[in-house]
A = this chain, B = another copy of it.
Amino acid sequence: MNSHAILLISCHDQMGISAKVTAFLAKYKGNIVEIEQHVEDDKFFMRARWSLCDFELKRENIEAKFDDEVASYLTDAKFQFFFTDTKPRLAIFVSKASHCLFDILSRRSSFPMEISLIISNHDKLEPIAKSFGIPFFYLPVTKENKAEVEKKQLELLKENDITLVVLARYMQILSNQIIEKFPNRIINIHHSFLPAFPGAKPYHQAFAKGVKIIGATSHYVTEQLDEGPIIEQDVARVSHSDSVNELIRKGKDLEKIVLSRAIYNHINHKIITHKNKTFIL
């Protein structure tokens, strides 16, 4: 399969942006495979993917040329280029629950990603990591050592050139020293249909409330707990006859699927974040 380039761009909305971008790609013989745009709050957002097969610009020159010929004519333009043959490098944070971890690992060969390491505050899932041949770091967290452990975690992320952190039911709250280093690059799965039931024990909350549908939400992690931009959600129908344990059982399947879809969208560079929302383009 030949390589593709992906452009994510945002700028102040004005007449003719699409025309400028597509003219640029046509000029250098970039055959557009996917293109989608969105306008909100007087801002314009676009994602374009094109084949590098006949593309006449060298990778290292694309950015400068684009800036020169397109972006400099737009107001407040911000843009990024990605190439499909550069695989994102993931670190997965887990605790004791294995369902999300298994699900991500089972996609290793089908998703364009490199799973570099697994970090956990418990050693329970270490055998799984081993059986998949992935380095596992057991870093138990206590109130006292939290800052220190996070420093160690940050070192591991840095050493391994991690571009995406996945909290696969990690059950610990990250502090800002990590979050601010990975803006919109930490994905969490919350086991409720946010904004319903944030915080602890959402299935117990759902059971007590008597909802007829449960959900799961994957989102980018920000400083506000369970408040970051939502990437993906899904739901399952339940009834009064489902105990809390049944909700947990049914919810696990939601969690793993919803988390994987978020990872898929992120590593395929389909997500633009604006304010506290995501646009999946």
Q: B-contacting residues of A (Cβ < 8 Å)? A: 15-16, 18-19, 22-23, 25-26, 29, 31-33, 35-40, 98-99, 102-103, 105-106, 110, 131-132, 193-197, 209-213, 215, 229-235, 237, 239-241, 249, 253, 257, 260, 276-280
Determine how many copies of this chain the complex contains. Answer: 4
CA of A131 to CA of B134 in the docked complex: distance in angstroms?
13
Chain B residues with CB below 8 A from A234, complex form? 213
B29, B38, B235, B279: which contacts A15 (Cβ < 8 A)? B29
Report the 7 A-B pairs with minimum CB-CB distance, sorted nearest first.
Answer: A210-B277, A16-B26, A131-B131, A102-B106, A19-B22, A196-B196, A18-B22
Least Cβ distance of A127 to chain B in Å?
A: 9
Provided the pairs A26-B16, A29-B15 are in contact, do residues A212 and B232 lie with their beta carbons within 8 angstroms?
yes
Closest chain B CB from A241 CB (angstroms): 6
User: What's the least CB distance linking A42 to chain B, in Å?
Assistant: 12
Chain B residue contacts of A19, Cβ below 8 A: 19, 22-23, 25-26
Instruction: Choose from B23, B209, B241, B253 the contact partner of A38 (Cβ within 8 Å).
Output: B241
Of B37, B196, B280, the contact of A194 (CB 8 Å cutoff): B196
A-B contact pairs, 22 of them (CB 8 A): A15-B26, A15-B31, A18-B32, A18-B35, A19-B22, A19-B25, A35-B37, A102-B105, A103-B103, A110-B249, A131-B131, A193-B196, A194-B211, A195-B196, A195-B211, A209-B276, A210-B278, A212-B230, A213-B233, A213-B234, A240-B277, A253-B260
Cβ contact of A212, chosen from B39, B110, B212, B233, cutoff 8 A: B233
Pick from A19, A39, A249, A277 the residue with the most CB of B within 10 Å.
A19
- Least Cβ–Cβ distance between A169 and chain B, in angstroms: 13
Q: What chain B residues lie within 8 Å of A253 (beta carbons)?
A: 257, 260
Smallest beta-carbon distance A45→chain B, Å: 9
If A233-B212, A234-B213 touch, whether A22 touches B16 (CB-CB below 8 Å) is yes
Closest CB of chain B to A125's CB: distance in Å? 11
